[in-house]
Structure 1
Amino acid sequence: MTQFKAYETVFHGEPAIGLQAGKYEAIMLAHVGGNLIAFRDNESGYRFLREPAESEMESFKSNPGVHGIPVLFPPNRYEDGRFPWKGKVLNFPVNEPATGNHLHGFLHTAAWEVEEFGVAGHESFVTVKIDVDEQHAIYQYLPFRFTVKLTYSLGADGLRQHLFVKNNGEEEMPCLLAFHTAVNVPFAQGSSSEDCTAKLTIGKRWALNDRMLPTGEFQELSKEELLLQGEGISPFFAAMDNHYTAAPQNGRNRMELTDRKEGAVLVYDVGTSYKQWMVWNSGAAGGFFCPEPHVNLVNAPNVDLPAEEIGLFSLKAGEIWEETSRFYVKPI
């Protein structure tokens, strides 16, 4: 009989919520960016997400961007920290000196609140949230009243992620999000990266300038990128910090990581609201890569292209945006 549990626990000294659904296990660090830091198949010995070691916890907490599933809001880079919005200019701190840009927004370093955890039907779940208003530190940069809720549910079909954003204020607000999802390559203990190929529903590649900002032009895909788009290729074929449009295939927008030795495929189906992909592999160093679903083009408010084309989404007073993603394993 499948066992479902949701419980308080500790991850390397940090308070956490643990989920169990049969062979699957997940761990949420609400107070460190609402980060789902672990998703595991304990029966097969799979660890799908890059987890920090105990000795890495202090560096992880100071820069929680490359482990687990960090929430980016607004995501990626903004030129000189400038964020033009509805006739005003919001000013974000320049936190990437090498490019002179603001990078990754404010939610992945913020403390989230655990709203609820438990078992519902054939899933265990946890919901974390962050409410921003005039009293919240984030309000000085994003002067809007809003709520972000993130629910992870674990069941026999893997891990489901539900993201909910509501504008609680009166002014129209930007709704720009991404996940800097760090996927282990390989995810199986007995495999190597040479056993693995990745496939993503990428479309066109955006040209980036020397500050890693889109020029508005596209670059031709290389033969390796065509394989990434098609039958699959090692995610370490070259150093990647590349930005692409999303081009759903067969109605779905997803990353697939195939382990030929295990005969297993990890599917990360992110939903079609994510109009762009960022793919980063830490200089092709191996061990992990980040297929990052983005709502919006990098630096979108500073780019003179149609809002719908670049995912420059907004929420008016009382409006809600939500999307559901899923991780699951299928046989080759």
Structure 2
Amino acid sequence: MTTTTKTTTTEKAIIAIPMGDPAGIGPEITMKSLAKKEIYDVCKPLVIGDAAVLEKAIEIVGADLSINEITSPAEGKYELGTVDVINLNNIDLNKLQYGEVSAQGGQGAFEYIKKAVEHATAGEVKALATTPINKESLKAANVPYIGHTEMLEALAGSDDPLTMFEVKGMRIFFLTRHLSLKDAIAAMTKERVHDYLVRCDRALARLGVENRRWAVAGLNPHSGEGGLFGWEEVEQIKPGIELAVADGINAVGPVPADSVFFQALNGKYDAVLSLYHDQGHIAAKMTDFHRTISITNGLPFLRTSVDHGTAFDIAGKNIAESTSMEECIKLAAQYAPKFTANSL
């Protein structure tokens, strides 16, 4: 009697890629990325944008690619050499100037993201891998959001999404984001530290990370040395960590900021809670600028993003580096099978 063994393979996730501001490098780095076999080895990439702009980007980068216009994610071929595109046809090429702020660019970028969110919330795509948008173009189009995070928060109906960076296995969350340093320090209350550790830990769990070990970065030199160099650690940060530990979070700190990121990079911690914007950004980007990827947690779908801008100064010139976009798509594909949409 002969028996056969049935093997199963994990279905590749459909990753939606809104092409970003058409006057920036988004279309170029997307086409460069989708010319590479390793992207199709791990996922099914779907571009949401303007087909004419993407055709122009293919010409600029000299890629051997063709556009396949579709109306729904299920129609895609997802084959190397063919770029599946949901074409919103919302850019006038005669008016498009690379490197220039424009209302049509800002409106277009917003519409690509909006369409991607619609497909994600409908369960038709597993994740978003977003390209750069331009704040001035959004303003010119009267789009009422300053950036991706605020836009996704509103479109998805989420509350205070969490930003996480990942680079070479090091994960960094942010207690504060776009605040002046003075305002960020004022926001470093024990209640906020406690709340963020609990929610960030939940976010890591949704990404499939088990047995999570946390460190909180210090603010002052040597984490304040017990008040010698500042009292924030003593009065707010450490008490916030203690409240989180009481809730079952495996967290330590505050750990001096000049060592905590190195320790996380070498596996001592699964994630670090950075206290303010530049503290974590510098640590990640000095580790590897092009491979630092942003993940927005707290949404009903997974979202990764390049962590650079539209680079208007080099747009349309075929000199934009696509490594970050490639890593952005790959990280979305990596976490997609583990991601759980509902809060734990």
Normalized against structure 2, the TM-score is what? 0.29
Higher relative strand content: 1
Larger radius of gyration: 2
Q: Which has the higher contact order (CA 8 A, sep 6+)?
A: 2
